[in-house]
Amino acid sequence: MLIDVPDATVMSFQVQFRAGNRYVLNKDIYETAHIMEHMAFGANEKFRSEHNYEQEFTKNGAYHNAYTSDYSMVYEAICADFESDRILELQRLAITTPRFNADELEAEKGNVRSELTGYLNNHNHVMWPRIQQALGEDILTYNQSLKTIANIELKDIKNHHKRTHTLKNMRFVVAGKMTWTKSGY
């Protein structure tokens, strides 16, 4: 979806894939999608490290993030209008040519473990997965999810990306001033 905002001075991009936790191959590696999302802005075809990529992405104030739900993995970015071609290309690199590596995997396993452990102190976070299970949904609670993190290997991350990050499985929204550029919008 393209949303033209003629007077906008910023561009907003959101790219979504059906790649959330429900699309992981089995429950033993349930947090694969979540960990892959945490690795989303790491090394890629052009940048050897997360730090190098981040430095280039944010040098003129651009912002990016990613999040995972039961069904979706979403990448988002916001930048100044004049930066849109550069930022869109950096988003493309992160999404289509990640170089998942073992060091990033171990670091992000720790970050996801910490995030999920923090949710255990929030009654809403604890309650909703239990309600979903009671309604017959095939998901794990945070306590159950935490136990799967140790099982996840680099091959699981790479396989999940290959299976889910396809053109047919992608949806996107671009909002801002739509003008013809080398990117085509």
CATH code of residue 102: 3.30.830.10
Q: Is the pLDDT of residue 185 over 90?
A: no
Q: Is residue 183 part of a domain?
A: no
Output b/e per residue, 148-179; b: 16+ Cβ within 10 A.
bbeebeeebbebbbeebbeeeeeeeebbbeee
Look at the chain and report how many structural domains it folds into: 1
Q: Is residue 10 part of a domain?
A: yes
Q: Is residue 185 part of a domain?
A: no
Average pLDDT (15-23) is 95
Cα dihedral 131, 133, 71, 90 in deg (nearest 10): 80
Token pair, residue 143, equals: 């306590």
Q: Provide the mean pLDDT of the chain.
A: 91
Other CB atoms closer than 10 Å to residue 63's CB: what's the count?
Answer: 13
- Strand positions, DSSP E, 51-183: 63-68, 72-80, 170-176
The H or E element spanning position 56 is helix 50-58
Q: What is the mean pLDDT of residues 29-33?
A: 96
What is the model's pLDDT at position 181?
52
- The boundaries of the domain holding residue 42 are 2-176
Give the C-alpha separation, 152 to 141, whole Å: 17
The better pLDDT of the pair 47, 178 is held by: 47
C-alpha span between 73 and 18 (Å, rounded): 6
- Average of per-residue pLDDT across 50-73: 93
| C-beta atoms surrounding 73 within 10 Å | 27
Higher pLDDT, 23 or 185: 23
